[in-house]
C-alpha cells in the first residue's frame, strides 16, 4: 500500500496534467459522471465533469441546491465512486484502489470539515483531534505536543479535556478544523463549514481555515452557499444541473 502510493505519487510530477498546466495538480477529475438510481428513476448528479485543481489553492464550489456540489465533494473525498470517469488525488488514481485502501488514503491524505461539525461525542476534544493518528496507531509524544500546539493556535487550548457537547458551535468547528489539518492532508474538503454559525463566528472560522491552509500548504475545496465565503477563495467553480457552468 505504502509502496504503491509513493510510486503513483511520484508519477504525478511528470504526468500529463503537470505537462499541460505547467503546475502541480493536486486533484484531477477526468470526465466524471455520477448517476444515482436505475432506468427510469435515474438521476444524473454529475454529468461529464472535468477539472484540475492546483496545489495550494482554495476553490469554492458554488451553485444552487441539487446542482451536484456535495456529490463532487464526496467523490473528491473518496467517500463515493464515480459511475464513469477517473479521479486522481495527489497522483493516486482512486479507481484503482480497493475500499480498504481508500479508507487508509482518506485518513492519511484528506481532511474533512462539515456543516454540523461531526465530532465524536464520546471523545474529548484532544481525542477527537487525535483521531487521524489513533486510527492509524501512529500516536507519538511529539504528535501529542503538536495537537496541544494546534489547539492553542485555534484558541481552544483550555478545552482539550472537554467533550463536544460542552462547547459552542464555533468552538466545535475549531476542533473540527484541528482534526482536519493535524496530519497535514494533501486536500481539505469542507461542506458548508459556516452553515450552522452566525455571521461573526462564520468569519472567524473562515479566517482560521485560511490561516491553517496557508501555513500548512493545504489545498482547500469548499462547497458553500455563502457569497462571502466563495469570494475569499482563489477560484470559484459554479455547478448547474451536474455540469460545470463557465
Nearest to 229 by CA among 130, 241, 201: 201
Binding letters toward ligand ADP, positions 142-171, x by CB under 6 A: ------------------------------
Q: State which residue, 33 or 52, has the beta carbon closest to ligand ADP.
A: 33
Q: Which set of grid coordinates corresponds to residue 209?
A: 481555515
Residue 245 found at the interface with ligand ADP (CB under 6 A): no
Region near ligand ADP per CB under 6 A, out of 58-66, 135-143, 155-163, 208-216: 58-66
Residue 67 found at the interface with ligand ADP (CB under 6 A): yes
Binding letters toward ligand ADP, positions 92-131, x by CB under 6 A: ----------------------------------------
Output 42-50 pairs: Cβ under 8 A, ≥24 positions apart.
Answer: 44/242, 45/71, 45/242, 46/71, 46/72, 46/75, 46/82, 46/242, 46/243, 47/241, 47/242, 47/243, 48/85, 48/243, 49/85, 49/242, 49/243, 49/244, 50/85, 50/244
Q: Which of 27, 28, 32, 45 binds ligand ADP (CB under 6 A)?
A: 45
Residue 65 found at the interface with ligand ADP (CB under 6 A): yes
Residue 226 found at the interface with ligand ADP (CB under 6 A): no
Region near ligand ADP per CB under 6 A, out of 22-30, 69-77, 147-155, 201-209: 69-77
Nearest to 188 by CA among 16, 4, 26, 2: 26
Q: State which residue, 4 or 64, has the beta carbon closest to ligand ADP.
A: 64
Q: Which of 1, 21, 36, 157 binds ligand ADP (CB under 6 A)?
A: 36
Q: Which of 68, 132, 170, 193 binds ligand ADP (CB under 6 A)?
A: 68
Residue 70 found at the interface with ligand ADP (CB under 6 A): yes
Q: Which set of grid coordinates corresponds to residue 21?
A: 498546466
CB 34 within 8 A of CB 80: yes
Residue 66 found at the interface with ligand ADP (CB under 6 A): yes
Pairing between β-strand 58-62 and β-strand 219-223 as defined by DSSP bridges: parallel
Q: Footprint of ligand ADP on this chain (CB under 6 A)?
A: 36-37, 43, 45, 63, 65-71
Amino acid at each position: 500500500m505504502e509502496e504503491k502510493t509513493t510510486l503513483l505519487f511520484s508519477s504525478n510530477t511528470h504526468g500529463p496534467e503537470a505537462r499541460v498546466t505547467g503546475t502541480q495538480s493536486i486533484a484531477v477529475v477526468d470526465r466524471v459522471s455520477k448517476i444515482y438510481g436505475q432506468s427510469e428513476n435515474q438521476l444524473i448528479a454529475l454529468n461529464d465533469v472535468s477539472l484540475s485543481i492546483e496545489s495550494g489553492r482554495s476553490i469554492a464550489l458554488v451553485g444552487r441546491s441539487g446542482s451536484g456540489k456535495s456529490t463532487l465533494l464526496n467523490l473528491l473525498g473518496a467517500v463515493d465512486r464515480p459511475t464513469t470517469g477517473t479521479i486522481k488525488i495527489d497522483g493516486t488514481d482512486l479507481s484503482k484502489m480497493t475500499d480498504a485502501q481508500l479508507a487508509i488514503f482518506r485518513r492519511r491524505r484528506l481532511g474533512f470539515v462539515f456543516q454540523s461539525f461531526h465530532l465524536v461525542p464520546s471523545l474529548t476534544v484532544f481525542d477527537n483531534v487525535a483521531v487521524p493518528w489513533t486510527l492509524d496507531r501512529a500516536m507519538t509524544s511529539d504528535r501529542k505536543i503538536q495537537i496541544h500546539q494546534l489547539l492553542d493556535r485555534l484558541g481552544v487550548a483550555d478545552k482539550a479535556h472537554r467533550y463536544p457537547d460542552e462547547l459552542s458551535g464555533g468552538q466545535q468547528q475549531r476542533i473540527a478544523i484541528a482534526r482536519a489539518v493535524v496530519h497535514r492532508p494533501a486536500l481539505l474538503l469542507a461542506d458548508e463549514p459556516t452553515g450552522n454559525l452566525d455571521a461573526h463566528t462564520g468569519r472567524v472560522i473562515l479566517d482560521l481555515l485560511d490561516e491553517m491552509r496557508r501555513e500548512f500548504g493545504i489545498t482547500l475545496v469548499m462547497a458553500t452557499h455563502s457569497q462571502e465565503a466563495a469570494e475569499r477563495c482563489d477560484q470559484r467553480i459554479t455547478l448547474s444541473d451536474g455540469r460545470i457552468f463557465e
